[in-house]
Amino acid sequence: MWRIEFTSDMFLPYLPEACQSSPGAYGFELAQWLSARLAEEGIVTGYPLGEDWGWFIEYIDGDIEVTIGCASETAEGDGYGGKPIRWRVFVRQRLSLWRRMWKRRAPNKVSDIAYAVVAALITEGIAAEITEA
């Protein structure tokens, strides 16, 4: 799994708090933006889906499934002040029981996607920290 962290005001929510997946769990705008940027690079994902911790998009190619999660590190209401907030993106392969048993992983594809996320952020002038967890 790869973790990408950065601070920006570019992905602040435009819909009210009640529309978020959970109070203070922003990330739809980031996930939507990432989906479009990755598609431009040939990495086609689905539309954003909500979870209680934030939002995610999925990349599926044959039997390779990668989840790209997008979440804010904020308290309820922090996304509406117009100030930059801290964001966290994770990129990890979803493994079925069969893949786990046979250790069938696609680490190159996961790292390629993680670095494509960082490259997309850099094109917007956003400095990001990336670590493999």
pLDDT range class, residue 105, cuts 50, 70, 90: low
Distance CA 111, CA 82 (A): 32
Tokens for 132, please give them.
Answer: 């493999």
pLDDT (0 to 100) of residue 67? 97
CA 105, 66, 36, 87 dihedral sign is negative
Percent of the chain having pLDDT more than 70?
Answer: 90
**pLDDT tens for each residue of 65-83:** 999 999 999 988 899 999 9
Token pair 């960082």 is at which residue?
118
Q: Is the pLDDT of residue 107 over 80?
A: no
Contact predicate 67/58, CB 8 Å: yes
- Which residues make Cβ contacts (< 8 Å) with residue 70, sequence separation at least 6? 27, 28, 30, 31, 34, 48, 54, 55, 56, 57, 87, 88, 89
Q: Is the pLDDT of residue 52 over 70?
A: yes
Report the predicted TM-score, pTM, of the whole model to 2 decimal places.
0.90
Q: Is the pLDDT of residue 95 over 80?
A: no
Distance of CA 43 to the CA centre of its chain: 13
pLDDT range class, residue 54, cuts 50, 70, 90: very high
Q: Is the pLDDT of residue 103 over 70?
A: no
**pLDDT tens for each residue of 18-35:** 888 888 899 999 999 999
Q: Is the pLDDT of residue 60 over 80?
A: yes
User: What amino acid occupies position 90?
Assistant: F
Distance CA 106, CA 99 (A): 10
- The total of other beta-carbon atoms located within 10 Å of residue 62's CB is 6
